[in-house]
Amino acid sequence: MKISGRTKLTGKIKDIKTGAVMAQVTLDVNGQQVVSAITNDSVSELNLKMGDDVTALIKSTDVMIMK
């Protein structure tokens, strides 16, 4: 599979919080937390569960840097 996104972060799922429609998936990426908001359907279709090794693919037009 080819994909245009270049920023890939591999980590382990630490938490999944589901709401009415959306879920918040928290990853541990080398000791840093990355949080993704995806649909509950996506959580089910990907069969995501805590402890899974996954890759977050980031595609954004804005990336802020703070010092």
Query: Model confidence over 9-43: pLDDT tens digits?
Result: 999 999 999 999 999 999 999 999 999 999 999 99
Fold held by 10-57: OB fold (Dihydrolipoamide Acetyltransferase, E2P) (2.40.50)
Listed by start position, the domains of the chain span 10-57
d(Cα 36, Cα 26) in Å, to the nearest integer? 6
Q: How confident is the model at residue 47 (pLDDT cuts 50, 70, 90)?
A: very high
Read off the pLDDT of each residue in 44-66 and give the average, rounded to a whole number.
Answer: 90
Task: Name the token pair of 57.
Answer: 């693919």
Q: What is the pTM of this model?
A: 0.85
